[in-house]
């Protein structure tokens, strides 16, 4: 299978079809008949993520990501924490990008350090700042598109530097999805996703993904087996189904995000719009280089007004729901300061550019004209 959309539709399908079913069934069973083998991690059991439903899903995801192996988890944070815990121990060093999702930031700045992992920072948008790694550095962690300012690192330079120092590279590619960016093609060892978002695309499950070479993924799997963060059978079915339309959804979401970002850039009530398809965005050239000029379905903007005004905008839209998350068929609007970054100290998030007045929009697949009208009616009230 060469075409991405063909892989999304047919990858992982069992042959022959089970009972002739065109859609693979839900394997709603926690346990299965034992097979030969003495390794605990090879027994067929739902917590070990190796039921028939898991196996088909893993095959589809590895084909889509272009990796040797894939592993689904109970949430994006389960994917992130299991990956880091599987590769880091007391005394090891983690080199983390200085702008990360709030949940990830809370974990690495709190629990990881409390457990003896030394956390150091780097600026992914300034690879020249990467010099000699701190002693004991074992893992480098970054994001493909940062939340919510949509910054894009120079991936090739980061992975080349890391490999020259024997450092494992991990990237959260949730915002990009495999449609826009496939990390393995640019030298990353492991990619993680919140599959709750674009991969599933319908806002009805929580799930995560770890993908990479077989050895790395198996290391994470063994850790996950003991942590218990497996994906349940019905969620496996829904994620498998959602993946089939990923390419179609991402194309429309990117189109809507670019159109809305352009329109907002011309509105007098708006101070700044952050989306990498806009020429004024600092990472416009990197978006062209790595993502074919498509910057994803999420953008943010700052209004010329107070935090109360920003909150009023988020709660007054008619089509857009004031809710966190992204990647679904419906458009969502929220203030990152009160959602994704609520757990980050104000001084830190403001230094990252996440102000109280910043608004984030995660585009769905609605008609662009209707989304523009929805924002226009609330912005009009600001100066009406």
Q: What is the pLDDT of residues 138-182, one digit of tens each?
A: 999 999 999 999 999 999 999 999 999 999 999 999 999 999 999
Q: Domains of the chain by range and CATH?
A: 4-243 (3.40.640.10), 246-382 (3.90.1150.10)
DSSP letter at 31 equals B
**pLDDT higher than threshold 50 for residue 298:** yes
pLDDT score of 22: 84
Average pLDDT of the segment spanning 59-88: 98
Report d(CA 243, CA 201) in Å as an integer.
8
**pLDDT higher than threshold 80 for residue 272:** yes
Report d(CA 136, CA 152) in Å as an integer.
27
pLDDT score of 129: 84
pLDDT score of 384: 42
pLDDT > 90: percent of the chain: 78
Catalytic residue among 60, 99, 151, 197: 197
Catalytic residue among 13, 47, 222, 289: 47
pLDDT score of 110: 93
Lowest-pLDDT range, 9-13, 179-183, 260-264, 347-351?
A: 347-351
Average pLDDT of the segment spanning 61-73: 98
pLDDT score of 228: 95
| Count of residues in the chain | 384
Mean of the per-residue pLDDT values of the chain:
93
Residue 316 or 45, more confident = 316
Catalytic residue among 45, 60, 99, 101: 101
Average pLDDT of the segment spanning 349-353: 79
pLDDT score of 36: 64
Report d(CA 31, CA 29) in Å as an integer.
6
pTM of the entire predicted model = 0.93
- 81 Cβ contact list (under 8 Å, min separation 6): 107, 227, 229
Residue with tokens 């011309």: 266
pLDDT score of 383: 47
> Please, which pLDDT band fits residue 280 given cuts at 50, 70 and 90?
very high
Give catalytic status of residue 47 as yes or no: yes
Catalytic residue among 172, 189, 283, 374: 172
Residue 213 or 381, more confident = 213
Report d(CA 208, CA 20) in Å as an integer.
29
pLDDT score of 14: 86
pLDDT score of 19: 78
Beta-bridge partner residues of 334: 360
Give catalytic status of residue 40 as yes or no: no
Residue 101 or 80, more confident = 80
Could you tell me if 48 and 167 are in contact, meaning their C-beta atoms sit under 8 angstroms apart? Answer: no
Give catalytic status of residue 197 as yes or no: yes
pLDDT score of 362: 98
The torsion defined by the Cα of 244, 245, 246 and 249, in degrees rounded to 10, comes to 180
pLDDT tens digits along 13-65: 888 888 788 888 888 877 877 776 667 677 778 888 899 999 999 999 999 99
Give catalytic status of residue 99 as yes or no: no
Average pLDDT of the segment spanning 266-287: 97
Average pLDDT of the segment spanning 340-353: 76
pLDDT score of 35: 73
Could you tell me if 76 and 197 are in contact, meaning their C-beta atoms sit under 8 angstroms apart? Answer: yes
pLDDT score of 381: 66
């Amino acid at each position: 299978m060469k075409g991405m959309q063909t892989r999304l539709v047919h990858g992982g399908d069992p042959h022959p079809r089970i009972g002739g079913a065109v859609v693979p069934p839900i394997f709603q069973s926690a346990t299965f008949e034992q097979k030969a083998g003495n390794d605990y991690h090879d027994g067929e059991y739902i917590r070990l993520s190796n039921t028939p439903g898991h196996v088909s899903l893993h095959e589809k995801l590895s084909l889509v990501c272009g990796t040797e192996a894939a592993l689904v988890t109970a949430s994006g944070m389960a994917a992130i924490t299991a990956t880091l815990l599987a590769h880091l121990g007391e005394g090891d060093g983690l080199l983390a990008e200085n702008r990360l999702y709030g949940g990830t930031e809370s974990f690495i700045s709190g629990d990881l350090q409390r457990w003896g992992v030394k956390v150091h920072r780097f600026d992914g948008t300034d690879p020249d700042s990467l010099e000699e790694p701190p002693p004991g550095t074992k893992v480098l962690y970054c994001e493909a598109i940062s939340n919510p300012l949509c910054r894009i690192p120079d991936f090739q330079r980061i992975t080349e530097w890391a490999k020259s120092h024997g450092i494992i590279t991990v990237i959260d590619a949730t915002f990009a999805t495999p449609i826009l960016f496939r990390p393995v093609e640019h030298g990353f060892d492991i990619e993680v996703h919140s599959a709750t978002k674009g991969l599933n695309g319908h806002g009805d499950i929580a799930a995560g993904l770890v993908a990479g070479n077989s050895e790395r993924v198996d290391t994470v799997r063994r850790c996950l087996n003991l942590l218990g963060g497996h994906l349940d059978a019905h969620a496996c079915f829904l994620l498998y189904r959602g993946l089939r339309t990923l390419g179609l959804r991402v194309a429309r979401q990117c189109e809507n995000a670019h159109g809305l970002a352009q329109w907002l850039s011309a509105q007098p009530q708006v101070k700044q719009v952050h989306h990498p398809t806009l020429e004024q965005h600092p990472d416009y050239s990197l978006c062209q280089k790595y993502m074919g000029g498509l910057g994803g379905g999420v953008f943010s903007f700052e209004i010329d007004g107070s935090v109360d005004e920003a909150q009023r905008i988020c709660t007054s839209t008619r089509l857009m729901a004031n809710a966190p998350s992204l990647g679904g068929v419906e458009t969502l609007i929220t203030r990152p300061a009160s959602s994704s970054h609520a757990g980050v100290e104000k001084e830190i998030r403001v230094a990252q550019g996440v102000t109280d007045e910043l608004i984030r929009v995660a585009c769905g697949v609605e008609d662009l004209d209707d989304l523009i009208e929805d924002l226009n009616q609330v912005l009009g009230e600001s100066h009406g």
